[in-house]
Amino acid sequence: MYSNNSDDKEMLLCEPIVRYSNCCRELSLFPPDEVTTVPGDIRVIELFAGVGGFRIGLERASSRFKTVWSNQWEPSTKRQDASSIYVSRFGSAGHSNEDINTVPTDDIPDADMLVGGFPCQDYSVATTLRNSGGIEGKKGVLWWQIHRILKEMPAPPKYLMLENVDRLLGSPASQRGRDFAIILASLSDLGYTVEWRIINAAEYGMPQRRRRTYIFAFREDSDIFRQMGSPESWIYTEGILAEAFPVMNTEQKLSEFEISGSLDVVSSTFNKGKKTSPFLNAGIMSGRRVYTSKVAPRYHGLSITLGDILIPENDVPESFYISTEDLPRWEYAKGGKSEKRVNKTTGFEYNYSEGAMAFPDNTEKPSRTIITGEGGASPSRFKHVIRTEGGQYRRLTPIELERLNMFPDNHTYGASDVRRAFLMGNALVTGIVERIARRIAARTNNNQ
């Protein structure tokens, strides 16, 4: 089902992404066999790999990035679509399709950098283990698998690049900022300095409005740590994220505080009783000392709109067009509502209201955020719908969804259209990784 033969479906970058990234259409991913490295390469471990968004961004940035091991596992399903696509595109060597909870650290090779878009969960710590001196995180929470791997590796990676939802900085609602404080404190205890930024891809010219938290961490024995200046200069101008995503001076004073106590103390007491998180949309932590500020994007380069990535209408399958009969159902789903509804189980009557969504979507701006429920023909408030030049309404095709995340065309070919949409709803915008990776490559020694 998952063919690596691109003769039927070309896996090229569309022209707007080529212009934005200043690269070739023929995205030369590493061949599907064992990756070999030479001195100066940056060996990468990719966790929660999905269909390879981090890998694409890294490899587009520099040939120095070599993914030597990857892991992708979808729980509660027999079909491992993401892993199958990953293997089809990159080869099976060094790829693990096992539950990361069961993978021994000894099975993971040495690397210079670990990357991953770890799931958003409750990161609380249950207790401090009396005998081992370690920590016990909430069962099944995959952040603690990253922690476990970093702690157990004889030579932990010097660099980490991680991605999560933007609400991470304020979670959970009952104890704002606790989850992020646990992550920062645990990384500090493992010897990492950490910088972060909430980035909206569209604010830097990319074709989708997708806000995510990006974390870049580095150890004291790394090239980048030795380049550090003051926390203020690092956040605003000199840091990896500041160079990749320039910001305007908001003239807001830097906020500074300490994350104190053992991890279980942080879990139970951090910011307790406060209504807002102390973490702003940019910051850095070193030695448990946090410096954070609110920043605004500064970008004047090329920009890609939803209209720029659309495929020719004669290439759109008929099933993606909305019939005249179905159009009222879409208009209702997208429209504003104020109506009485009845709970089918309890019979309880309640007032329901919601605002109107744009219908159709504006093709002269970046798209709204892709969600996992984007696929399928049934009317939905959240699915994208555009109006063609001929006046017809249609949904977005899998290729167009791939382009909104700046993937090569047909990267997810082999899965059903619904699953391809789901996979893109779970993916990241590869252009974000690419911009960060370019700065990492530029500021690390080729002969490290």
Neighbours of 275 (CB within 10 A): 7
The answer to whether 23 is a known catalytic residue is no
The single-letter code of the amino acid at 87 is V
Angle, nearest 10°, between helix axes 417-426 and 81-90?
80
Residues 6+ apart with CB under 8 A from 85: 2, 51, 52, 411, 412, 414, 415, 423
Q: How far is CA 72 from CA 50, 64, 82, 147, 339, in A?
A: 6, 23, 7, 17, 44
Give me 319's structure tokens: 């099933």
CA distance 192 to 188: 5
> Which ranges in 153-307 belong to alpha helices (H)?
178-189, 231-233, 240-244, 263-269
Rounded Cα–Cα distance for residues 100 and 413 (Å): 26
For residues 284 and 232, give the distance between their C-alpha atoms in angstroms, rounded to a whole number. 9
Cα dist. 388→285, 303, 379 in Å?
49, 21, 18
Q: How far apart are CA 46 and CA 178, in angstroms?
A: 26
- CA dist., res. 198 & res. 52, Å (int): 21
Separation of alpha carbons 88 and 411, rounded Å: 9
Phi, psi of 409 (to 5 degrees): -55, 140
Residue with tokens 């996992």: 372
CA 265 to centroid of chain Cα atoms: 29
Report the C-alpha gap between 359 and 368 in whole angstroms.
12
Q: Which of 14, 23, 24, 120 is catalytic?
A: 120
Rg (CA), the chain: 23
C-beta separation of 386 from 394 below 8 A: yes
Instruction: Round to whole Å and give the CA distance between 180 and 257.
Output: 14
Would you give the DSSP letter of residue 411? T
Angle, CA of 53, 57 and 60, to the nearest 5°: 135
Active site residues: 120
